[in-house]
Amino acid sequence: MEKNAARTLKIKTSTLKRTQKDHQSYAKETKQLEEKLEALKAQEGADPYNIKKMEEQVAETAQMLPNAKTRIETALEDLEGFLGSNQENAELVASEDWKAAEQTLAEVKAFVETIW
């Protein structure tokens, strides 16, 4: 098996996993910040400055979601293209890395359906 192809496959698979985790992390953080903001607004005598700063944090975190989505799309296309262009490499196709890449691809495609 060509070592560069195997290495590239691992990198592309890891990139796709990482970008999915990034999106999940930003979504979770946004939700948590929104809950904190609502709790802060519900407090009597809450400082308007603190509310404004919390609103800014929520907005900044929420702005990262479209960016993460774009990175997921790019990583998906990249891995799909790599798998498509290396299907003739029988040794690579038979490897555990190939199976892991296909599984990751399926998982992330299912995840992408939930965020659109």
Contact between residue 52 and residue 40 where contact means Cβ atoms under 8 Å apart: no
Structure tokens at 49: 């400055």
**DSSP symbol at 47:** -
> 1.20.58.90, 2.60.40.10, 3.40.50.20, 2.60.130.10: which CATH number matches 3-115?
1.20.58.90
How many CB atoms sit inside 10 A of residue 101's CB?
A: 23
The pTM assigned to this predicted structure is 0.86
pLDDT 10s per residue in the chain (116 long)?
578 999 999 999 999 999 999 999 999 999 999 999 999 999 988 899 999 999 999 999 999 999 999 999 999 999 999 999 999 999 999 999 999 999 999 999 999 999 86
Q: Where are the domains of the chain?
A: 3-115
